[in-house]
Structure 1
Amino acid sequence: MNGKFRSRAERACGGVRSLLGRTSGVSAPIVGAAPAATPGDVPAAAERADLIAALAGRPGVHQLQDVLLDYCIARPGDSATELAALLEPLDRHPELTATLAAFLDCDLDRRRAARALGVHPNTVDNRLARTTELTGLDPRTTRGVQLFGAAFAIRRQPQPRLETPRHAHVR
């Protein structure tokens, strides 16, 4: 899905969330939202939205990002790319990626992560804060640990190689 369409869809979800937030004394529904790029994609998007709502389990409008880990576990092939994409904002900042990986590998111990990286613990704190700014996900929260850990696991998977069939002749 292109960025312009995704942005419009996210704004629409934000508007619905705002409206639901203003209802007082009314039980708010659980709504899953999933965009469809074409009219032909609407049935699949509706199915995805239903699963998002079921996984969210609490009132409000929920998008894939809100239940990404749960969704990935429920449908691994359908969301792994989006889960791995959580790390994309860090791709231009290798020091942030290294700090995040060290922080997770050191069981969230900033001092151990700092020693592993050869930096001051405050540097780890500053880099984690910058990671939160860039990704919108705080690696110091349970949700952040789960999602970033899963994203790293997906990125570490070897990519399938295209092999030449045994019966093919290469000249």
Structure 2
Amino acid sequence: MSERNWHIYIVHAKQEEKLAEKLEKDIREAGYEEIAHRGTVMVGEGYIAEASKALSTGGPVILCGTCKAMGSNWVELIVNAARDRTFDEPRIFCLQMEEDANVNRLNFGECIALYWQNPAKAIEDLIAALKKHYPLNTNIGKIHFMSYLFALALICCKISRHCFQLSLH
């Protein structure tokens, strides 16, 4: 199993590539290399395919929460797809870029970085969270295998508990 960086996808609204590029620059400076967003997709490639790379590796999704993004079906599609992953707990990191952006509309339940109040602190918190949940040069294959084993153990526990409850009746 090879060691490599996580594939990170930054979700943003159309014509907000500058925000994504700023985040991409800060994330790269922290040591992450595989970062994609609408502005990095080349001719002949698809946005969904790029987002799927991050989702299929269990990588993080970072949301540029602007008013425009929160009204976008594209953003909702990617965030919901990240939540639908089977074995990995989805990690969606939301940065509220504008004060009036209704980021709670997507019901995160996670801490939201308030970029509009303090961009430097929001980036610092994002990088710290990435390093905690997505350490650099982690053995991705081993993590996926361990996630699979954990999910399998949970299923076995549920089956055992169900069988035990049936035996009581």
TM-score (norm: length of structure 1)? 0.25
TM-score (norm: length of structure 2)? 0.26
Where is the strand percentage greater, Structure 1 or Structure 2?
2
Q: Which has the larger radius of gyration?
A: 1
Where is the helix percentage greater, Structure 1 or Structure 2?
1
RCO higher in 1 or 2 (8 Å CA, sep ≥ 6)?
A: 2
